[in-house]
Chain A
Amino acid sequence: MAEPVPGISAIPDESNARYFHVVVAGPEGSPFEGGVFKLELFLPEEYPMSAPKVRFMTKIYHPNIDKLGRICLDILKDKWSPALQIRTVLLSIQALLSAPNPDDPLANDVAEQWKINEGEAIKTAREWTRLYAMSG
């Protein structure tokens, strides 16, 4: 087994080994720094031939993550490869927090704000992180 990644943990559910409780720490230097984000990860029947399903449970202000916590990330869609692992997927999600991509948006309003006034958007993201990702 590979060594654990700092700031990421994935624990299988007691009743369902396909279901993982994931916690990702907001990366340093990003507006999500200091936040602790909960995600759920589910391995479908076809895994690893099809991608795991991942969703943010903690509210987050990010152009590639929508209100329901769904994530726009190529490796979770058409760029999925069975050679990828849960570990690499979660690392990619953590990287997405460091580098939001407003040109390929999922949450349009957030992406718009990110493009028009990045400073303001980052401020909002910090605010949301403080409000929703630091409580517990």
Chain B
Amino acid sequence: MDSDDDFVASEDDSGNESNTGEDEDGLNVALIDSEPTGSSHVDGNDRMEIEEEFPYEILTTEQIVQHMIDCIKEVNTVVQLPPTITRILLNHFKWDKEKLYERYYDGDRKMLFSEAHIIDPSETTSQKEIKKYLHNGMENCVICCRDLPTSMLTSLACGHRFCRDCWVNYLTTKIMEEGMGNKISCAAHGCDILVDDQTVMTLITEPKVKLKYQHLITNSFVECNRLLRWCPKPECSHAVKVQYVDFQPIKCDCGTVFCFLCGENWHQPVKCDLLKKWRKKCDDDSETSNWIAANTKECPRCNVTIEKDGGCNHMVCKNQNCKTDFCWVCLGPWEPHGSSWYSCNRYDEDEAKAARDAQEKSRAALQRYLFYCNRYMNHMQSLKFENKLYASIKEKMEEMQQHNMSWIEVQFLKKAVDVLCQCRQTLMYTYVFAYYLLKTNQSIIFEDNQRDLESATEKLSEYLERDITQDNIVDIKQRVQDKYRYCESRRRVLLQHVQEGYDKDLWEYTVKLDKV
């Protein structure tokens, strides 16, 4: 991110870098590889056999800026406004040019400009309206209260004039301290007219501030634009540009594979909304409260939460202000129980039954969650260990090459670990999917697929972790190859089945989902 020199405000000299096609390193246009090498090369894109490719481009920061300039130019050929105004307008419409055209040509243009906090360019330049505080040929800046030559003061289209020094200070504070880019308004009190790029770029001279401003503008361009998304890897400064929004994996030039819709790691088969619910469930302490519900009861009188720490069912609340006596089983007062516990005749009363039912239910829900969560976590944990496996496999590959095997002959090992990782990742997310799935015929098929994939994956993992030695290498190579091909095909079958379910609307969930 070190040279964003081509920028909106200086767009005239930016014609030296084209946005598509002729990238110097050839890496920037990364269409997902969709050659019909087909079934045996599943490369993060499992749907390619059944559906068309999903085209996208990975853009560098410079290319993003160029893309922004191109968008502005394109709109400008139609609306014929100054480019800086076009940028503010486009930003207002979240870079949806169709919406902009619609409002610009069909709606009330005055209203449009005022909503976007711009002065209508057709009605400005009436210099006489601008209020100047003149004192014997000098003009007063109301911020610093100095009398200065008129040429030292400047204003936006709204006409609120301040001296250059004050403008520079104001903009620098907004940009550097408050991290504002496209939402900086005029420095005058109560004026909401937005500062345009041209003004910022001519007033600000310090490179650090300019750069920060450019980053802020670029960032808002990507964040607002529905066809763009930053690569989620923290140190990566690439963004992806798609042609239409879809649930698809994106492979960034930095190697990160993420979901275009939500920016998380690619998480097929489970969709973004369910994954988000799952993450929230895992993150917040809703499960703590589930545990409390399953393992504790409330004092029937003061409602303090109690955990039973002995065998006796005669409870005495330890809350000093309460000290009520009650029965742990039925939560009724202890008195009628008398001396003999087994005559607890309140046991079958409706109220006590309801309380127990609620407790049973919550306990069952907790068990169910833990079941899925354990398996999810387990695959996640294994996936982390597989990174170590890459290292040990690499050693093995080098060792084999020293023992009369060629480079190409040992590549199957790396491929096997790749497949193993893919399968683990898929399996991990199948448990999220399964957790929210209602039992149907289809869900049973899904679980069968899941079981097959899981057992094959575990076998593959075992082969790779221990069984390879010098002596059995030829035999094991065959077995490993067979196994990873089998894993690949099982994985594909599982994902296709889930996709089919999505397409035909076969899945039913235990939770309500917002319609996307």
Residues of A within 8 A of B (CB): 46, 48-50, 75, 79, 81-84, 88
Contacts and interface: CB of A to CB of B under 8 A. Distances in A.
Interface size class of B (residues with CB under 8 A): 10 to 19
7 contacts: A48-B144, A49-B169, A81-B190, A82-B162, A83-B162, A83-B188, A84-B189
B173 A46 contact: yes
Interface in B153-168: 160, 162, 166
B177 A46 contact: yes
Given A49-B177, A82-B162, 15 more contacts: A46-B177, A48-B143, A48-B144, A49-B170, A49-B173, A50-B173, A50-B177, A81-B189, A81-B190, A82-B166, A83-B142, A83-B160, A83-B188, A84-B189, A88-B189
Contact of B143 (A46, A75, A83, A88): A83
Contacts of B428: none
A80 to B, nearest CB: 8
Contacts of A88: 189
A84 B173 CA distance: 16
Contact of B189 (A46, A49, A83): A83
Nearest to A81: B189
A81 B187 contact: yes
A84 B190 CA distance: 10
A1 to B, nearest CB: 9
Contacts of B187: 81-83
Contacts of B189: 75, 79, 81, 83-84, 88
A81 B185 CA distance: 10
7 residue pairs, one from A and one from B, having the closest CB atoms = A81-B189, A49-B173, A82-B143, A83-B188, A83-B142, A84-B189, A83-B189
A52 to B, nearest CB: 14
B275 to A, nearest CB: 35
Nearest to B191: A81
Nearest to B187: A82
B199 to A, nearest CB: 16
Nearest to A46: B173
B212 to A, nearest CB: 16
Interface in B182-230: 187-191
Looking at B160, B172, B189, which has the most chain A CB atoms within 10 Å of its CB? B189
Interface string B138-151: 00001110000000
Contacts of B170: 49, 82
A83 B145 CA distance: 10
A81 B173 CA distance: 12
A102 B177 CA distance: 31
A70 to B, nearest CB: 20
Contacts of B143: 48, 82-83
B235 to A, nearest CB: 31
Contacts of B142: 83
Nearest to B166: A82
